[in-house]
Structure 1
């Protein structure tokens, strides 16, 4: 149990460290550099997204690809779970709903993560694009009116006055723009709070030295720009 806890802390802090380094790069390739990290990091958006039941949904991805007429796009052959558009990479994650007899009967919760490349401001246009995805999924019968939808649009800047949450369908649909640095600060705070809760737990008594090394600052390695003489 101690090793599982320590491994999870280490993995999450490594993801945060990698993302911190990557979002500093102007014009970052969100498809190859950011999407693989966020694919493992829904927990960064809040405790309600910790569930292992959230999985990438190719059916939704296919519907959105058809909506935009996307046949391939940059880097898509090996990423069938994402829709790759000129300025973003979009992932769809779903959690099933069940009837009274515990049979799967639809989709209870959908998370849409739209990662924008750095240098692109987030505003009403980007929120509207996510709402367009939701309407198409509803029109195709993929999700119903009772399905809860959380849409996150991420970038390194937000237009003045556009930082609020857009809600639709009696608050069943929420679309939030977030800066990369904001979500990373929140994620790091959650991990440090987690450490405070578990560091004195009896089952970790013998692992204190090991635990401490995981909460020290992690330096993300970057290639040197200087060549040796």
Structure 2
């Protein structure tokens, strides 16, 4: 996905949300160019951090933040051996997002907007739970506890929340599954042994017809080995 190349600047200054960060870090494992740019940007940010810092007027801070929010670097031009000149040209738009340099009097004073107090970012689970298209399915599992699955098609993910859920039997794990419309189960991760928890399921959930929980051998299985102890019908989600 070419747009991932545009996130190097935002990643270097920790300006990505949890979902973006996870996808970009997976991309970093496969992209030498992006790893190089992130390392360069972090080095630049560290040098800027050593400069004297002051608090600018509120109006100036708002103006700079608004400008940074609109800056998106172009995807990198992939070449076998990038020259220093090419690297510098590619880094210039990213440096705009990395720092705002203010010239005051006879000296240069660096203001780093990310060092100021910023609004708390929502976790991946909170983004799904608060999504406008969030759909919920609640199940009372009797002595096992209670659970609610929330799915957001726009985020393509699902979250499970449990209350008073008993631990899996000795030597077993609760495993989550996403069921396709044609009945195929795909593992969505293991559930920790915690009575009350909020867990984002692994995998694409936009087209899932249901979410299931089975009791599997310790460490999980590649396909269900037992009947589900719970099956959340997402076609009936509200």
TM-score tier, shorter chain, comes to: under 0.3
Structure ranking higher on relative contact order (CA contacts 8 Å, 6+ apart): 1
TM-score (norm 2): 0.24
Larger Rg: 2
